[in-house]
Amino acid sequence: MKMAPDSLQRVFDSAFAGMRHAREAFAPQLASREVGTITSIATGIAKVSGLPGVGFEEVLKFPGDLYGIAFNVDEDEIGVVLLGDYWQLHAGDEVERRGHVMDVPVGDQLIGRIINPMGRPLDGMGPVVSSVRLPIERTAPHIMDRAPVTVPLQTGIKVIDALIPIGRGQRELIIGDRQTGKTAIALNTILNQRGQNVLCVYCAIGQRASDVAKVVDTLREKGALEYTIVVVTEGNDPPGLTYIAPYAATSIAEHFMAQGRDVLVVYDDLTHHARAYRELSLLLRRPPGREAFPGDIFYIHSRLLERATHLRPELGGGSLTALPVIETEAQDISAYIPTNLISITDGQIYLSPSLFELGVLPAVDVGKSVSRVGGKAQRAAYRAVAGDLKLAYAQFEELETFARFGARLDENTRKIIEHGRRIRACLKQPAFAPVSVAAQIAVLLALTAELFDNVPLDRMSDAEHAVREAAADIPAEVCARFDTAEKLSNEDGATIIQIARNALARFQPQPERKETK
């Protein structure tokens, strides 16, 4: 078939136009991939070569969707902490630079979720969808951005709220031997935040899976998961994941703090965190120091806990309260990690195994516990009674030892001991049963007014319960004044004492009836 020259020309023109268009639209997308190779693998650690440009704490991607953090950055080889199951990795495998530090999803979508420190879901409720991510390591707020701690954080535990009060933005250490009720105190505090507009983050660090399941069950059962985020690493997770857990939990909390909200973070517990870091450091051949911990062990905990604060009103006025938990061995609070944490935090709640054995629960040793900033944030109504109570309890603890030897006691000493025994009985409290402010103040006022002193010891639990129940009769306007900075007025005090006296009437010993012949 023959074609006319002009129609041939048209075909060529359109073909050239199409090619020109394709050439103009062609935008080459070249992304550089910096790739190195694994030289060796050890427990939770990989040595990588061929990546000279890697920065400290940069994320590296390994085969099988596994990530790691560059920890030791040497000229010819880098030590990488692995954040997942590393059994399938081999020497010679490819490693890719990601060009950013480790980050975690943050935001409202996380509330009520159970995640690992990388933001992956552990609750079977689908992926965590969040458009905002924050690096897990962030600098602590500047000193000029911080405001004094002025608002109390009620734990709902009588002995703590009265004698070792905690403020929003404080760091209070929970310390004690194993199985002394440390987690119970932290959980109780979370449960008590219901309706208090405090978001909670519970960070389980290297715990047994069964313990974590129990905590999650308690939170769910008591309706606390609605305002709580649970960040979990279990005992069999790689040490790298355990190491980053508290930092990730803090970044999640900081996001809410920056929005002006009050957040509570529980780190349960930092003993496992310190051990994970020791393991990593030894594997990376960093020089060991005291108790084989590396030299920067103090720094890793201080830079974590320095992130807890109360921000200035101009920055939203949010707060981050930290409750780190630490385990002691044989009540040795002068061991390396416990002393470090005692010096970093603003006070400690010490749980004594001997009190636990005696059934004094929560087993808080008031003599060894302290809150260095919470006193200023404590509600004025508590302050009216707390001082007397502390003194009376301290006197009692001193005298109790003598009483055990069966020494003959004078009337005054006997009275102090009997009063002290009633204070101890009133401060007892079952786990996961927070007490409201009104009920606490009613019990404490009744104690300082010595209303319990004639109640037989075996009826103290019922008597204390009766006063707590009667606290519901405290007029609403009096309860409203508990939340203000006003001191408890004499009239209000008298009203509450009268309510307590009525509740206790049936527990007082009845005057002996004279038998008539």
Ligand X SMILES: Nc1ncnc2c1ncn2[C@@H]1O[C@H](COP(=O)(O)OP(=O)(O)OP(=O)(O)O)[C@@H](O)[C@H]1O
Among the options 194, 220, 303, 372, which is catalytic? 372
Q: Which of 399, 431, 449, 497 binds ligand X (CB under 6 A)?
A: 431
Q: Is 390 annotated as a binding residue?
A: no
Stretch that binds ligand X, among 102-110, 133-141, 429-437, 482-490 (CB under 6 A): 429-437
Query: Is 465 one of the binding residues for ligand X (CB under 6 A)?
Result: no
| % helix, strand, coil for the chain, step of 5 | 45, 20, 35
Q: Are 170 and 373 in contact (CB under 8 A)?
A: yes
Stretch that binds ligand X, among 40-48, 164-172, 174-182, 330-338 (CB under 6 A): 174-182
The site that binds ligand X (CB under 6 A) totals a number of residues, namely 14
Stretch that binds ligand X, among 104-112, 307-315, 423-431, 463-471 (CB under 6 A): 423-431
One-letter amino acid at 49 equals: S
Q: Which of 165, 167, 181, 246 binds ligand X (CB under 6 A)?
A: 181
How many CB atoms within 10 Å of residue 248? 28
Q: Is 176 annotated as a binding residue?
A: yes
- The tokens describing 31, both together, are 């992304």
The C-alpha atoms of residue 366 and residue 101 are separated, in whole angstroms, by: 43
The residues that bridge with 430 in the sheet, in sequence order, are none
The C-alpha atoms of residue 352 and residue 360 are separated, in whole angstroms, by: 10
Checking 313-317 for CB contacts under 8 A at 24+ apart, the result is 313/147, 315/141, 315/145, 315/258, 316/257, 316/258, 316/259, 316/260, 317/147, 317/260
Q: Are 304 and 170 in contact (CB under 8 A)?
A: no
Q: Are 239 and 125 in contact (CB under 8 A)?
A: no
Query: Is 161 one of the binding residues for ligand X (CB under 6 A)?
Result: no
Q: How far is the CB of 178 from ligand X (least distance, A)?
A: 3
The residues that bridge with 46 in the sheet, in sequence order, are 41, 80
- The tokens describing 91, both together, are 């020497």
Query: Is 327 one of the binding residues for ligand X (CB under 6 A)?
Result: yes
Q: Please classify residue 32 by burial: count the beta carbons closer than 10 Å to its beta carbon, then call 0-12 exposed, 13-18 middle and 19+ buried.
A: exposed
CB nearer to ligand X: pick between 116 and 180: 180
Q: Which of 387, 430, 456, 475 binds ligand X (CB under 6 A)?
A: 430
Q: Give yes or no: 372 in active site.
A: yes
Q: How far is the CB of 51 from ligand X (least distance, A)?
A: 40
Q: Please classify residue 286 by burial: count the beta carbons closer than 10 Å to its beta carbon, then call 0-12 exposed, 13-18 middle and 19+ buried.
A: middle
CB nearer to ligand X: pick between 362 and 493: 362
Stretch that binds ligand X, among 23-31, 108-116, 374-382, 424-432 (CB under 6 A): 424-432
Q: Which of 100, 178, 415, 465 binds ligand X (CB under 6 A)?
A: 178
Q: How far is the CB of 429 from ligand X (least distance, A)?
A: 6
Q: Is 183 annotated as a binding residue?
A: yes
Stretch that binds ligand X, among 25-33, 84-92, 329-337, 427-435 (CB under 6 A): 427-435
Rg (alpha carbons) of the chain, rounded to whole number: 30
Q: How far is the CB of 177 from ligand X (least distance, A)?
A: 7
> CA nearest 309: which of 141, 134, 139?
141
Query: Is 362 one of the binding residues for ligand X (CB under 6 A)?
Result: yes
Q: Which of 258, 283, 284, 361 binds ligand X (CB under 6 A)?
A: 361
CB nearer to ligand X: pick between 54 and 325: 325
How many CB atoms within 10 Å of residue 307? 22
| Helix (H) / strand (E) containing 186 | helix 182-191
Q: How far is the CB of 386 from ligand X (least distance, A)?
A: 20
CB nearer to ligand X: pick between 10 and 178: 178
Q: Is 182 annotated as a binding residue?
A: yes
Site of interaction with ligand X (CB under 6 A): 176, 178-184, 327, 361-362, 429-431
Which residues are part of a known binding site for ATP? 176-183
Catalytic residue numbers, as ranges: 372
